Amino acid sequence: MYRMTKQAPLQTGQKYGDIIRDGELSPGTIQALLARAILVRVSTPPLSELSECWEKRARKLNKAGIVTVEDLAQANVNKTAKVVSLSPRTIRRWQQEAIDYLNPKKPKKGK
């Protein structure tokens, strides 16, 4: 996983501060952006450290070998769902929640 550290025009629409998962950009593009310090590698925390509700989820996901936010973000949804006896929809939602934790929405001006 990577974070955009500078504004750069990408056809995929990512902008400064966004998280980019492996596979969202070609390996060549990633290498070029890393070399120009537009991207940096993200070190993600264990899921159990996100919040209280994630402690139970972390124990369940550990059965599939998923420990960190990056592990979850990169996990195959269908395989993970099968291993932990949950729906793929739930796994996708958890993936997005974990990514959102790393990339919180900015408050609107005036609030």
For the four alpha carbons of 45, 37, 22 and 88, in that order, the dihedral sign comes to positive
Report the percent of the chain where pLDDT is more than 70.
Answer: 90
pLDDT tens column, 28-62: 988 988 998 889 998 889 999 988 889 999 999 99
pTM: 0.76
Set out the domains of the chain in order of their start, with CATH numbers: 2-41 (no CATH), 47-102 (1.10.150)
Helix, strand or coil, per DSSP, at residue 76 = coil
Identify the weakest region by mean pLDDT among 35-39, 89-93, 98-102, 106-110: 106-110
Gap between the Cα atoms of 100 and 94, Å rounded: 10
Maximum C-alpha span of the chain: 45
Residue type at 94? W
Q: 63 near 84, Cβ under 8 Å?
A: yes
Gap between the Cα atoms of 95 and 52, Å rounded: 17
Helix (H) or strand (E) holding 59, with range, is helix 52-62
